[in-house]
Structure 1
Amino acid sequence: MNRELLKHVIFDQHEVIRSATIVPRRYHLDPQGNYVITGLRRSGKSTLLYKVARDLVRGGAAWNQIIYINFEDERLAEFTSADFNDILLAQSELSDREGYFFLDEVQNIEGWEKFARRLTDSGRRAYITGSNAKMLSSQIETTLGGRYLVKHVTPYRFDEYLDALGKSRDEAALYSTSGMGALSSAFDSFYTYGGFPESLRYGAPREYVESVYQKVLLGDVVARNSVRNPQAMRVLVKKVAETVHNEASFSSLHGMLKGIGYGLSKAALIEYLGMIQEAYLLFAVKNATAKFVEREGSPKYYFSDNGLLNLFLVNKEPVLLENEIAVAMHDVYGDALCYLKSAKNGIDIDFYVPERGLAVQVAYSLSKSARSREIGNLVKLAKVDDAVNRLVIVTKEDEGDIDVEDAHIEVVPAWKFILRDLCGQPSA
């Protein structure tokens, strides 16, 4: 690798970092730590590193100590693992002081983890980002040997979205009529178009989200994995979108594709779903295991950002509402978040966190039929599970309290549930 070219890449990136607008995020990075930062493409990983770089300079580091390499720079298209040492040589030519190394979207380079370990073994500070969960595979974690802390970054939560828009979310906003109206209005846009940070700059955020989706699907999934049938994968994502809110077994998804002429084997379908999840487009929520649940059941799939799901929906606000609650709760509880479905007891709970004793139903509105269904399921759960201590129905706008058969149920608008109950908690 031409070291002069590397220097051009580094100093051009310095200009990007200096001019970047940085909205404070909820993530704290230990100043003495080395990090692997993962997450969905365009969720804000690079901007998080920009802040670290600017903080280092503010603390006394010189810009020529900031060795920031964006591996999606087209000038590095021919970069291979054999070229990593040239980064160290370029740094030594730029400064006789220690370098701070930022390797952005490095998952594209095979063998990156060996160089990452060499950096820390030699006492250098390093920050690494990537848009694929394979970066956290057991093999790579073994190579890194515990030398890096892991941070998972998502698109904006609702509180960060409000901060980025400059909208207040203090007590006055939460409780005053005008403030509540403003928050509810902001949530309408948020749960429709999602929380990709850069989408806020666009008058047509849907088009921006579409471009992100195409980049993730065609670049991060299809091209990287040499997918043989990209059209079948496109249709699979669409069919998963149609299952949000419901269980989706491999067999049912396979049948959906077969019914419209896609002869994808079940094994290939399972492999494709794994690739899609590794790129952070989707995550799965499993059925809870409990003494009153007779089977594990098939997972429910949710999209990692509502803007992505909305690309496939028409007039499906209730589905978007449930997906947003899934995203917010999964961000806080991780794999501890379950759903609960038991044919034996007739219980069907949208979201269940056993270790917190929390059960949540999502209903766009508490119409007569929805009211009976959601309340009935929560009451049944309260009767068979002594560990449950909080029952909640999350709605679009309805609010209040319901006491029935010794069960107390809170009814909370989605925006308030997310801000009050989830945004103050650290991510899983």
Structure 2
Amino acid sequence: MFNNVYPREKYLKKIRPFYDSDIIKVITGIRRCGKSFILKAIMNELIDRGIPKTQIIYIPLDRRGYKNIKTSEELETKIESMLGDDENYYLFIDEVQNVFGFESVIHAYAEEGYSIFLTGSNSYLLSDEISTKLTGRYLNFETFTLDFSEYLEMKRFFKKKIDQDIYVEFEEYILNGGFPKTIEFDDIQARQTYTRGIISEIFEKDVKTRKRISNVPVYERVQSFLLNNYSAPFSLSNLLECLEKEGYKTKATTVRGYIEDLKKAKIIYECNRFDLKSKKSLRREQKYYLSDLAIYFAMNTDNRLSYGPSLENMVYLYLASQDYQISIGKIGKLECDFITRNTSGDYAYIQVTYTMQGEDIKATERIKEREYRPFRKIRDGYPRYIVSLDRFRDQQEGVHHINAIDLFLGKEKI
């Protein structure tokens, strides 16, 4: 049905058990992360299973011929015009948030037993609309840009050259990011121009149209602050102080609102702290991670890699895409980069560092002490990991030392 569609098995295997269910399948994620192609891959699989094309209804609302569908009545009329005499139908609607009041139409077809697949570019779709109007009738599948393994597989799929040195490819991946379409461009400046266009599109379509921005310069400064301080502890008071020094007049509630807008547009993800002593989640000094590192490099003139924050950001995205629940660990005055819980309820503690090796023996000892020390304060028996780019492992004190690239390629697991 669709040619040259790279099948992202990482997500297809999560959705596949529900192909024939009347539970509504909602695929969310930042714009241009590949949601439409996941829909196309599902349709290809249905065709391969022997489902007749007449039973597959595909409505891409951001494409020519469909863009004029803006109301629930127009959407229903379009669907009805595509139906025939078959009993069972698979309904695929791409960018469904473009239709006002789509929920009533979707709910009606779900009641008739249709298998429905929807995509939406932002979490306004999920948190503010579907969750209240389709209660209990949908499953959300969060989608991310290509991870490193998918990036390499997609390059092979489209017969792009892959460097024999995996570390060269890894560095290019950090700069290029994982927006699937960037693989088409061989020039890094073209990739960055494309990524800047995505951010501009998100602002115009997912932020300004959903919520009136009262002070665009302040919004842009807040966005710039968060993009430039990814993987670092965040303090609202520090940001407000910074804005005041730069001559911006605003309120804490306004800034919080702009941060929520960035989260809902999937540009950033928030990770809160968890105090291991009090067993409570802390809503201060949280961290923000970028949905794709290319966002930072596309929006800044400085392309020098800062491996520590970049690697931490990548580990966060890896864990989130594997459906881990993630917190930053606070142990007294010490910090553990991540506390995770998998779908089976098992916990793990993770430290992330670019390397365990310093410029001399004393520097190496300081790094090792910094990374191992938080683990010594943890009293339970859950596994502990250090993730770095070192080619040689430093296994001490029962801590598993994992090479980050091996983790991203599935050769190691947490």
TM-score by length of 1: 0.82
1:396 is matched with 389
1:300 to 265, 280, 287: 287
Counterpart of 1:80 in structure 2 is 71
Contact 1:67–1:100 (8 Å) recurs in 2? yes
Q: For 1:107-159, what per-residue CA distance to the aligned partner results, in whole angstroms no more than 9, with x for missing partners?
A: 12222222211111011121100011122227622422322222111111222
The alpha-carbon deviation at position 350 of structure 1 amounts to 2.0
**Which residue does 2:137 correspond to in 1?**
147
CA shift, 1:287, in A, is 1.0
Partner of 2:315: 325
Structure 2 match to 1:175: none
Q: Which amino acid aligns with 1:48?
A: I
Superposition pairs of residues 55-70 of structure 1, within 5 angstroms = 55-70=45-60
Matched, 1:261 2:252: no
Distance 1:20-1:259 versus aligned 2 partners, 3 A rule: farther
Contact 1:71 1:105 in 2 (8 A): yes
Distance 1:364 1:202, change over 3 A: farther
The count of aligned residue pairs is: 390
The answer as to 2:309 corresponding to 1:310 is: no
Quick one: structure 1 residues 194 and 258, their matched pair in 2 at CA, closer, same or farther if it must change by over 3 Å?
same
Q: Is the 8 A contact 1:402 1:409 kept in 2?
A: yes
The reply to whether residue 383 of structure 1 matches residue 376 of structure 2 is yes
The corresponding residue for 1:6 is none
- Give the corresponding residue for 1:176: none
1:386 deviates by 2.0
Pair 1:206 & 2:192 matched: yes
Residue of structure 2 in register with 1:26 after alignment:
10
Structure 1 residue 398, shift from structure 2 partner = 4.4
Structure 2: 5+ residue stretches without partners: none
Provide the rounded CA distance (Å) in 2 between the counterparts of 1:181 and 1:389: 37
Distance, in Å, in 1 between the alignment partners of 2:214 and 2:132 is 31
| Distance (whole Å) between structure 2 residues aligned to residue 62 and residue 182 of structure 1 | 45
RMSD: 2.8
1:357–1:387 CA contact under 8 A, matched in 2: no
Greater shift in the superposed pair: 120-129 or 310-319: 310-319
Please give the secondary structure, in 2, of the residue aligned with 1:73.
coil
Residues 59 and 94 in structure 2, CA contact (< 8 A), matched pair in contact too:
yes
Partner of 2:137: helix, strand, or coil? coil
| Equivalent residues of 1:25, 1:160 under 8 A apart | no
Query: Does residue 288 of the first structure (1) align with residue 274 of the second (2)?
Result: yes
Moved more, 190-199 or 242-251: 242-251
Q: Does 1:339 align with 2:339?
A: no
Whole-angstrom distance in 2 between the partners of 1:312 and 1:55? 38
2:81 is paired with a residue whose SS is: helix
Separation of aligned partners in 2, 1:294 and 1:20: 48
> Residue 166 of structure 2 corresponds to which residue in structure 1?
183
Residue 66 of structure 1 deviates from its aligned partner by: 2.6
Pick closer, same or farther for the CA change 1:332–1:203 going to 2, 3 Å. Answer: same
Q: Distance in 2 between matches of 1:117 and 1:370?
A: 61
Query: Is 1:118 the counterpart of 2:108 in the alignment?
Result: yes
Identity %: 22
> In structure 2, what residue type is equivalent to 1:236?
V
The 1:147/1:251 distance shift into structure 2, 3 A limit, reads: same
Decide which of 95, 98, 123 is 1:108's aligned counterpart: 98
Q: Structure 1: which 5+ residue stretches go unaligned? A: 1-16, 168-178
Describe the shift of the 1:139–1:24 C-alpha distance in structure 2 as closer, same or farther (beyond 3 A): closer
Matched to 2:146, the amino acid is: Y
Distance of 1:64 and 1:107 partners within structure 2: 25
Is residue 61–residue 69 contact of structure 2 (8 Å, CA) maintained in 1? Answer: no
Contact 2:385–2:402 (Cα < 8 Å) also in 1: yes
Which secondary structure does the structure 1 equivalent of 2:9 belong to?
A: coil
CA contact (8 A) 2:71 2:102 kept: no
- Of 374-383 and 261-270, more deviation after overlay is shown by 374-383
Whether 1:51 and 2:41 are equivalent positions in the alignment is: yes
One-letter code aligned to 2:25: Y
Match in the other structure for 1:241: 227
Post-superposition offset of 1:375: 2.7
Aligned residue identity for 1:87: K
1:193 matched to 2:179? The reply is no
Structure 1 counterpart of 2:398, one-letter code: H
The 3-state SS of whatever aligns with 2:248 is coil
One-letter amino acid of the structure 2 residue matched with residue 408 of structure 1: G
Query: Which one has a larger percent helix, Structure 1 or Structure 2?
Result: 1
Structure 1 residue 370, shift from structure 2 partner: 6.4
Counterpart of 1:360, as a letter, is Q
Q: Deviations over 1:62-117 (max 9, x none)?
A: 4343321122235524621232320232123x555543211111112222222211
**1:349–1:377 CA contact under 8 A, matched in 2:** no
| Alignment correspondent of 1:170 | none
Report the CA distance between 1:249 and its aligned residue: 2.2
Q: How far apart, in 2, do the equivalents of 1:371 and 1:382 lie?
A: 18
| Secondary structure at 2:92 match in 1 | strand
Question: Counterpart of 1:298 in 2: which secondary structure?
Answer: strand
Residue 388 of structure 1 and its aligned partner are, at CA, apart by: 5.0
CA gap of 1:109–1:198, structure 2 versus 1, over 3 A, is: same
Partner of 1:341: helix, strand, or coil? strand
1:221-243 per-position Cα deviation (integer Å, ceiling 9, x unaligned): 12332223333222212111222
Counterpart-to-counterpart distance in 1, 2:220 and 2:381: 40
Measure the CA separation in 2 of the matches of 1:277 and 1:373. Answer: 36
Counterparts of 1:269-284 in structure 2, within 5 Å, are 269-284=255-270
Compared CA separation, residues 421 and 222, structure 1 to 2 (3 A): farther
Distance verdict in 2 for CA 1:211–1:32, change over 3 Å: same
Structure 2 counterpart of 1:182, which letter?
D
Q: Which residue, 118, 124, 130 being the options, matches 2:120?
A: 130
Supply the distance in 2 between the matched residues of 1:252 and 1:225 (Cα, whole angstroms).
Answer: 25
